[in-house]
Amino acid sequence: MVQSKQVIVVGAGLSGLCCARTLQRAGVEAHIYEASDGVGGRVRTDTWEGFLLDRGFQVLFTAYPAIREEMDLDALRLQAFTPGAIICRASEKHMLVDPRRAPAHLLAAAMSPLMSVSDKLRAFQLAMTIGKRTVPEIFTMEDQTLGAYLQKSGFSGMFLDQIVRPFFGGIFLERQLETSVRMFAFVFKMLSEGDTAVPEAGMGALGQQLADSLAPGTLHLNSPVEALLWQGERITGIRLQDGTEIIADRVVLATQADVAARLMGREFPVHWRTSTTAYFALPEPLDTGKLLVLFPEAQYINHAVMMSNVAPSYAPPGQHLLSVTLLGQTDLPDEEIVRRITTDLLLSFPEARPDTWRLLRIYRIPWAQFAQPAGIWEQLPDADTGIPGLILAGEITQSSSLHGALTAGRVAAQRAMA
């Protein structure tokens, strides 16, 4: 069977959804073909026994320019974290907060032994320097690894090990500090200029909100695209796995990068960062407030959050939701992951009663983000593929983030209309 459309978008992640919406707002007919059974791509939330479980721990920064421009933040009813973190070193717990953003914790920040006076001064200078730069300026600053940049800036080893590695390790999913300083500066600016939050209905609400604004009939779920259709040098449509062929003026690829590369017959610089998040139902919350909890010295855990403290909607009444994340995608059996997590947690929270906890689910995420080492930016593919009729969207054309995915969708829509 052959059908005909104006623009076909492959993939209903945030990038594909944003692309289709931008096209439709400009009066262009756009259809999305998505392999899975839902929208949002990597950013989805499962409802499980009354709990909201994001597929891997993830948050949004309200300062992301593309989030501000593309999303109705009020409608998401955002639930914000307290800016900062609790750092757990075996039985010692240290509260680290940004005193400008959480003045109630000024004293704790000033007293923190994890940052020397010179680290505190340097952090303040860093915030001033990065704060003055615009996002485009950040993405053209001299590139180097985060580790090299912070060392040259004179930060102590203690600061790097106890704070930077677990905190930014949780964001970039690596603790070696190999990530580009541009990405660090971008995230640092976002953290300083807005809230870290989750929508009341879970992170999946982002994709749902975009999908709700599309014209009826735009979305074709459970429709994996198997191949692109070529006519000479030009792309003229797609073939679905069931053999259906759909002709279009333009095709936009908004899948994850390795799928797009395969469909195009090209190679992209993709090395996936992976993570594992376990969710537990607790009868009583751990005493963490709305703070991220970091474990710089733990053997397995990178970070944990009492999600229901941040967003009570994440747990049914009378119950509490704990999220624990390990870097890397562990193929260990569930029981072993739980044993390792509880061993690590008990060192810092001896009052915890894991015998009263219930494991809800473990998410092993094979492609959370693509690695963004120093120097990667010049290697990222452009939305303009050089192949007539074919445009590339997806985070791979911008940066591995919600901001990158939305921006990529918008840029691809503009190219499709050019």
Ligand X SMILES: Cc1cc2nc3c(=O)[nH]c(=O)nc-3n(C[C@H](O)[C@H](O)[C@H](O)COP(=O)(O)OP(=O)(O)OC[C@H]3O[C@@H](n4cnc5c(N)ncnc54)[C@H](O)[C@@H]3O)c2cc1C
Point out which residues bind ligand X (CB under 6 A).
Answer: 10-16, 33-36, 41-43, 56, 58-59, 224-225, 254-256, 259, 275, 365, 368-369, 394-395, 400-402, 404-405
Plot region of 22 (φ>0 → left; ψ -120 to 50 → alpha; else → beta): alpha
Per DSSP bridges, beta strands 292-294 and 84-89 are parallel
Nearer residue to ligand X within complex by CB, 288 or 369: 369
In 3D space, the residue among 174, 222, 192, 213 whose CA is nearest the CA of residue 329 turns out to be: 174
As beta bridge partners, residue 220 has: 33
User: Which stretch of DSSP H or E encloses residue 164?
Assistant: none
Per DSSP bridges, beta strands 301-306 and 292-294 are antiparallel
- Amino acid residing at 130: I
Distance CA 182, CA 173 (A): 16
Least separation in angstroms between residue 143's CB and ligand X is 20
Contact 156, 119 (CB under 8 A): yes
Least separation in angstroms between residue 98's CB and ligand X is 18
Nearer residue to ligand X within complex by CB, 109 or 235: 235
Least separation in angstroms between residue 94's CB and ligand X is 23
Distance CA 393, CA 255 (A): 8
Nearer residue to ligand X within complex by CB, 97 or 326: 326
Distance CA 115, CA 161 (A): 11
Nearer residue to ligand X within complex by CB, 12 or 315: 12
Distance CA 332, CA 300 (A): 12
Nearer residue to ligand X within complex by CB, 122 or 204: 204
In total, the chain counts a number of residues equal to 418
DSSP 322: E
Nearer residue to ligand X within complex by CB, 19 or 130: 19
Least separation in angstroms between residue 228's CB and ligand X is 10
Contact 54, 203 (CB under 8 A): yes
Q: Which residues, including other chains, have CB under 8 Å from residue 247's CB and lie 6 or more apart?
A: 2, 3, 4, 5, 229, 236, 237
Nearer residue to ligand X within complex by CB, 7 or 115: 7
Least separation in angstroms between residue 14's CB and ligand X is 5
Per DSSP bridges, beta strands 245-253 and 51-54 are unpaired
3-state secondary structure of 281: strand
User: Which stretch of DSSP H or E encloses residue 340?
Assistant: helix 334-348
Least separation in angstroms between residue 182's CB and ligand X is 15
Q: Residue 368: how many CB atoms within 10 A of its CB?
A: 22
Separation in Å, CA 31 to CA 10, 104, 174, 330: 8, 50, 36, 37
> In the structure encoding, which two tokens stand for residue 202, read together?
């879970």
